[in-house]
Amino acid sequence: KTTRQRSFNLKCNDSETDRDNSISVGKAGAEKQITNVAAGTQTTDAVNKGQLDTAILSVSGGTVATDNYAHISTDTALGSAKGYAHATTKEAGTNKITKVGGITVTTTGTGTSLDDIDSFTANSIKITDPAEVAAFINAAKKGGNIAIGDYSSAMGTANIALGSGSSAMGFENSASGFSSSAVGFRNEASGQNSNAVGVNNIASGNSSSALGTYNIALGGA
């Protein structure tokens, strides 16, 4: 039944509309699904489940191609890419890539290109799944935020969170230590429970803190 103005009930059992300008296919306690819905294309179109799944995967650790990469659902990678690739470490003599932004990788073929990467290490586990590797390569090439430690967060632009429970926020920060934090501009926190906050600080000692500008904390508790 229809109880409001400019409302419409589809012809099916137990349909009830009780709001203006609405369409109902059921009622409270007798909800129904709408099937065979095409993907929306305009701002006021309805979207289908497939579109929602894609949107969710892109921000919550899925493998849909984005500028960022979050390894698992408990990781967070949000923000923008810097538009050029993360720095790489290469093997002497062969020039093969061994690390990307501090993350250990293996390569195939000549191994000199990011496209040659066939695995990367996350939480001491070698990841070889092609979809995961492709998503990682995509973020590495674009300089996106990368979060691969358990419960890690990389937010801002080109931040990398490797350590379990680590946080890298701002621009080109790296947090590789367990429960470490690197916040600001190009800070590095590699020690366990370390903090590097400000501009170009390095905290490498366990429980160390480097705050301000161009400070280095080697020791710790």
Q: Tell me the C-alpha distance between 165 and 202, whole Å.
A: 18
The whole-number pLDDT of residue 199 equals: 97
Q: Which stretches in the chain have pLDDT values below 50?
A: 7-9, 60-65
The whole-number pLDDT of residue 15 equals: 60
Q: Tell me the C-alpha distance between 209 and 115, whole Å.
A: 36
Q: Tell me the C-alpha distance between 112 and 5, whole Å.
A: 67
pLDDT tens, residue by residue, 9-34:
455 556 666 666 555 556 777 766 66
pLDDT tens, residue by residue, 88-113:
999 999 999 999 999 999 999 999 99
The whole-number pLDDT of residue 62 equals: 46
Q: How far is CA 195 from the centre of its chain?
A: 22
The whole-number pLDDT of residue 64 equals: 42
Q: Closest by alpha carbon to 165, among 184, 178, 155?
A: 178
Q: Tell me the C-alpha distance between 209 and 221, whole Å.
A: 10
The whole-number pLDDT of residue 179 equals: 96
The whole-number pLDDT of residue 158 equals: 96
The whole-number pLDDT of residue 65 equals: 46
pTM, rounded to two decimals: 0.70
**Would you give the DSSP letter of residue 58?**
H
CB atoms within 10 A of CB 145: 29
Contacts of 130 (CB under 8 A, 6+ apart): none
The whole-number pLDDT of residue 63 equals: 41
Q: Tell me the C-alpha distance between 195 and 93, whole Å.
A: 35
The whole-number pLDDT of residue 20 equals: 64
Q: Tell me the C-alpha distance between 117 and 89, whole Å.
A: 13
Q: How far is CA 216 from the centre of its chain?
A: 29
